[in-house]
């Protein structure tokens, strides 16, 4: 989706306007916000995508071929809004396939991972001469950590703490697109959180590619500088009411992290752990760093300490070699887990990955059917999780809603709530009685007293 302009002060005197469109993960959203701020600092104005901007910046994802197709669609849409606009494409897809993107009609500038945060310099220096310009170096070169955060409606912010990945999952292009794992200093992250809190942010979501692999580059022998130390430091930030962990690998979600979250007032009882497959054969082929027994143990540990916790799961269906029996085994495993919702991905062959060369390719029609079954299972899990809290009251952080006359928000344990109420609830945390749930959303809920810790 495009980046909301409420984060920026519009510079109406600027000779050029910039619209940003973000594809993919929360990490991309935080980085798009950083790019927007760099344009504003340089004197550009920020425009809505549909307003017909002078410059369009498309921050891409390349997890699936759908993301690639969406990029092309957005380029065409931008050109329809303003045929004379300058089109800049950056992000993971731009790093992986710069020549391909440069061949798309309308693209003027392609920026890889190392060049992304110098986007204003590249735009200012652009001399097209009738050709697309590519600035995308080798990902093997050293890439420094670049701080970024997003804050669309001044209620929640995505704060980047880590980037890149040292894992070698056989289906994944992220290490090729973002390079080696690297992190920000705990001192810097805490200061950013403090400033966001002072700016009115009530909740911060910690983002990265593999945040459980966080390592403070300034750590010395007397302190680990690991993810547990980071969240302990953030837990003392009084300016922010809530923190969430966006996603963490099950093998890195240690007992100590789970125990800390269970005792914390600021870290919400919400975990998102990628599983990918409930079949050990597929996990081995995927080069995942755990077996399903470990994943089951992590879920059991979370629920033992936080029975009310929400647990989200990533699942891939149709991976090469996944037989019908393999899929059924994976389905049964997920069905029996005490988890709350699924993000289901149909396996997509990505160039230059081992999985793309594997034999026993699963027919696309079969992949889609398996995806549908897993999505139906997700709906069942989500409804079951919601029903468990019917009649209870939980604290909700309210934000603007796209449903007219309503505000929405999430409970501490990530139940979505929709309330018909005036906008003064926005950016407030209120205790809410959960009355009725439909399709995973409590659309009948009654705000109660203002909530405090």
Q: Which segments of 6-161 does DSSP mark as H helices, in order?
A: 26-41, 65-81, 92-96, 98-102, 119-124
In angstroms, rounded to a whole number, what is the distance separating the alpha carbons of residues 80 and 421?
38
End-to-end CA, the chain: 34
- Taking the C-alpha atoms of residue 343 and residue 99, their distance in angstroms, rounded to an integer, is 31
Mean pLDDT of the chain, nearest integer? 90
Q: Would you say residue 5 has pLDDT above 60?
A: no
CA distance 437 to 392: 12
Percent of the chain with pLDDT over 70: 92
Specify the DSSP class assigned to residue 289. S
Q: Given this model, what pLDDT does residue 12 score?
A: 35
| Domain 5-135, CATH | 3.40.50.12160
C-alpha 97/C-alpha 114 separation (Å) is: 14
Residue 64: pLDDT above 70?
A: no
> Which 3 state secondary structure label does DSSP give 95?
helix
Report helix angle 324-336 to 364-387, nearest 10: 10
Spell out the CATH class of 146-246: alpha beta
pLDDT digits (tens, 9 = 90+) for 336-385: 999 999 999 999 999 899 999 999 999 999 999 999 999 999 999 999 99
**pLDDT of 391 strictly over 50:** yes
d(CA 290, CA 398): 37
Region 426-450 average pLDDT: 82
The answer to whether 436 and 416 have CB atoms below 8 angstroms apart is no
Each residue's pLDDT tens digit, 276-313: 999 999 999 999 999 999 999 999 999 999 999 999 99
More confident residue, 114 or 154: 114
Topology adopted by domain 270-387: Transcription Regulator spoIIAA (3.30.750)
For the cut 80, the answer to whether the pLDDT of residue 63 exceeds it is no
Which whole number is the average pLDDT over 74-85? 92
CA 367 from centre of chain: 24
In the predicted structure, residue 417 carries a pLDDT above the cut 50: yes
Crossing angle of helices 227-234 and 255-263, rounded to 10°: 10
Residue 15 confidence (pLDDT): 56
Percent of the chain whose predicted confidence (pLDDT) is above 90: 72
């Amino acid at each position: 989706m495009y980046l909301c302009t409420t984060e920026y002060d519009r510079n109406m005197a600027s000779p050029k306007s910039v619209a940003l469109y973000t594809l993919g993960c929360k990490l991309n959203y935080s980085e798009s916000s950083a790019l927007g701020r760099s344009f504003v600092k340089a004197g550009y104005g920020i425009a809505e995508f549909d307003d017909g901007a002078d410059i369009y910046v498309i921050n891409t994802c390349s997890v699936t071929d759908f993301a690639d197709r969406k990029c092309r669609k957005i380029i065409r849409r931008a050109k329809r809004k303003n045929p004379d606009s300058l089109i800049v494409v950056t992000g993971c897809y731009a790093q992986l396939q710069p020549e391909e993107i440069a061949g798309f009609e309308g693209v003027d500038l392609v920026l890889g991972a190392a060049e992304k945060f110098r986007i204003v310099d590249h735009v200012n220096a652009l001399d097209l001469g009738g050709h697309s310009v590519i600035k995308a170096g080798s990902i093997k070169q050293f890439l420094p950590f670049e701080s970024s955060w997003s804050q669309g409606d001044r209620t929640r912010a995505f704060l980047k703490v880590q980037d890149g990945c040292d894992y070698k999952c056989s289906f994944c292009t992220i290490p090729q697109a973002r390079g080696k794992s690297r992190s920000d200093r705990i001192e810097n992250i805490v200061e950013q959180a403090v400033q966001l809190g002072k700016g009115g942010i009530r909740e911060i979501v910690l983002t990265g590619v593999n945040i459980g692999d966080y390592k403070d580059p300034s750590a010395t022998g007397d302190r680990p500088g690991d993810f547990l130390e980071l969240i302990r430091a953030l837990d003392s930030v009084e300016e922010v009411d809530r923190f969430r962990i966006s996603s963490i690998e099950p093998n890195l979600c240690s007992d100590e992290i789970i125990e800390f979250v269970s005792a914390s007032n600021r870290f919400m009882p919400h975990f998102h752990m990628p599983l990918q497959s409930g079949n050990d054969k597929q996990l081995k082929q995927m080069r995942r760093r755990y077996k399903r027994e470990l994943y089951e143990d992590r879920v059991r540990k979370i629920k033992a300490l936080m029975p009310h916790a929400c647990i989200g799961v990533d699942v891939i269906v149709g991976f090469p070699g996944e037989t019908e029996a393999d899929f059924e085994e994976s389905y049964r495993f997920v069905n029996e887990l005490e988890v709350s919702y699924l993000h289901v991905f149909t396996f997509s062959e990505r160039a230059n990955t081992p999985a793309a060369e594997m034999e026993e390719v699963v027919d696309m029609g079969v992949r889609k059917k398996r995806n549908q079954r897993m999505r139906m299972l997700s709906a069942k899990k989500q409804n079951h999780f919601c029903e468990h809290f019917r009649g209870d009251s939980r604290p909700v952080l309210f934000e603007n809603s796209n449903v007219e006359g309503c505000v929405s928000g999430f409970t501490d344990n990530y139940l979505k709530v929709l309330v018909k109420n005036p906008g003064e609830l926005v950016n407030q945390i209120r205790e809410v009685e959960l009355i009725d749930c439909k399709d995973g959303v409590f659309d009948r809920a009654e705000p109660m007293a203002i909530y405090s810790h």
